[in-house]
Amino acid sequence: MPTSPTARPLTPATVWLARGRHAEGAAEDVLRRSLEQRKRSRAIDDFLELPEAGTEAGTGAGTEAAPAERVFEARWRVEETVTVRARIGVTPGPDGGQEWLLVAEAERPWNDDWPSPAALFWPEEPDVAWDRDGAVELSLRKINPLPQDDKDTRRLFRNAVPGGWHIHVVVHEAMSTDERGRLPVARWLPTGLRHRVVEHRATPQQLRGVNWALRDAGVQVPRGGAVVLPGTPAPDGYEADDFSVRAVFLDGSEPADLVDAVTRYAALPRPLPEGAEEALTALREDWHLLTLEEELERQRGLVAMYAEALEAMTKSRDLYREAAERAHEALAAYQESAEAAPVRQQSPDAPTASPLQQLTRTFERLKSRSQRPVAPSRDEH
């Protein structure tokens, strides 16, 4: 698969990212109810819904305002002392749904055993359709059967994998499975990974076509096994053999090797996904949900900043005043010297030489004096 022509900064170890699409209804209403419930149950400390704000896409006739982003902030603690701040932005999608982008950052490197931020913003009920992949029609909480047509499968991987938002896993069924085998593998993953993984499932007869579709990615799915796709661009340290699982038993037991492969892949340093840098900057620099201590610290910082600005203005004013006083003193001294100098009387009819002419004549007189021969001294005779 093609790689990105421009290098993006790496995702910080403290950051958790996810993106998706809410398919039905008003996503802000769902988020508001879910966050209120999480606050009542003390799963989160607090949340804040920011006022709606849109931006103009341009000016002139026929110009329309850009879709307004609805933003919610939330904060909670993990391991009792580690604070997590999170921000989700929701914008209208092209097909009537709503796209959402979630970024969370902790005070120390992220632990995948911590709760999923998506599960704290969104309700866990299966009938609430917030868990769709924003790029293609894929689920983050269910198995995604691969298309029957090989070309459609290849097209699916080309459209779904780039961007770097999700970890894509392809599982091949060695034989037809029962209900136990049709449960998503993601339920065995650490809680912090469950909403970042897209599981693709291939039926027994699709093995050859799937591996043909994956040729561009440089990976293959073992019969009855699984593979974690490299993504676009592939993270540093990715080797296909290290993330290929030879056997996955779909009998309801934990697929330990596959869980290990996904967990190791998630720990690799990866570039920030497309669009994540702006969201992370907004989380860090435009945060509103402050505690009382943070608000006091912020006010102290503002006071210190204003004091420094005032001191600089005062210093600048004093320097300006000192420079003006020196200029006045120099002007007064010049005027006094001009008044003390003798004034030559000129004939009324004599033309007044310009300052440039006077300077030129003076220079010529000095030049002629320097060229005048020097009389020999008496010692030379």
Residue 170 and residue 77 share a domain: no
Q: Examine residue 339 and state whether it is found in any structural domain, yes or no.
A: no
Q: Is the peptide bond before 233 cis (omega within 30 degrees of 0)?
A: yes
**Residue 377 or residue 183, greater confidence:** 183
Mean pLDDT value of segment 323-330: 78
Position 274 scores a pLDDT of 85
Residue 21 and residue 93 share a domain: yes
What percentage of the chain reaches a pLDDT higher than 70?
Answer: 80
Of 58-72, 238-252, 340-354, which range is least confident?
Answer: 340-354
d(CA 142, CA 184): 6
When mean pLDDT is compared over 19-33, 75-89, 121-135, the highest value belongs to 75-89
Residue 223 and residue 147 share a domain: yes
Q: Examine residue 371 and state whether it is found in any structural domain, yes or no.
A: no
What CATH number did the domain enclosing 191 receive? 3.40.30
Please tell me whether residue 338 adopts helix, strand or coil conformation: helix
Structure tokens at 38: 């999480």
Position 361 scores a pLDDT of 64
d(CA 175, CA 139): 23
Residue 126 and residue 90 share a domain: yes
pLDDT tens digits, residue range 85-120?
Answer: 999 999 987 777 889 999 999 999 999 999 999 999
Residue 262 and residue 157 share a domain: yes
Position 380 scores a pLDDT of 46
Residue 44 and residue 91 share a domain: yes
Residue 269 and residue 145 share a domain: yes
Residue 15 and residue 143 share a domain: no
- Taking the CB of residue 144, how many other CB atoms lie within 10 A of it? 21
Domain extent, residue 37, equals 11-56+66-132+275-309
**Residue 207 or residue 93, greater confidence:** 207
Q: Which of 233, 238, 222, 236 is nearest to 170 (CA)?
A: 222
Structure tokens at 69: 């982003």
- Taking the CB of residue 79, how many other CB atoms lie within 10 A of it? 10
Position 357 scores a pLDDT of 62
Q: Examine residue 328 and state whether it is found in any structural domain, yes or no.
A: no
11: left (phi over 0), alpha (psi -120 to 50) or beta: beta
DSSP string, 263-292: HHHHTS--BPPTTHHHHHHHHHHS-----H
d(CA 7, CA 349): 81
Structure tokens at 100: 């959402």
In 196-274, which residue ranges form alpha helices assigned H by DSSP?
A: 207-213, 256-266
Q: Examine residue 372 and state whether it is found in any structural domain, yes or no.
A: no
Position 3 scores a pLDDT of 45
* Tokens 């000129």 -> residue: 346
Residue 159 and residue 123 share a domain: no
pLDDT tens digits, residue range 275-312?
Answer: 899 999 999 999 999 987 776 676 677 777 777 787 78
Q: Examine residue 80 and state whether it is found in any structural domain, yes or no.
A: yes
Q: In Å, how far are 193, 316, 322 from 327, measured between CA atoms?
A: 71, 16, 9
Q: What are the DSSP E strand ranges found in the chain?
A: 15-22, 46-49, 70-78, 82-92, 98-106, 143-145, 167-172, 197-202, 226-228, 244-245
Residue 251 and residue 160 share a domain: yes
Of 129-143, 229-243, 358-372, which range is least confident?
Answer: 358-372
Structure tokens at 238: 């990715």
Position 121 scores a pLDDT of 96
What are residue 132's phi and psi, to 5 degrees? -90, 140
Longest dimension (CA), the chain: 134
Residue 297 and residue 252 share a domain: no
Q: Strands 244-245, 197-202: parallel, antiparallel or unpaired by DSSP?
A: unpaired
Evaluate if residue 342 carries a pLDDT over 80. no
Residue 208 and residue 148 share a domain: yes
Q: How many domains does the chain have?
A: 2
Mean pLDDT value of segment 356-379: 56
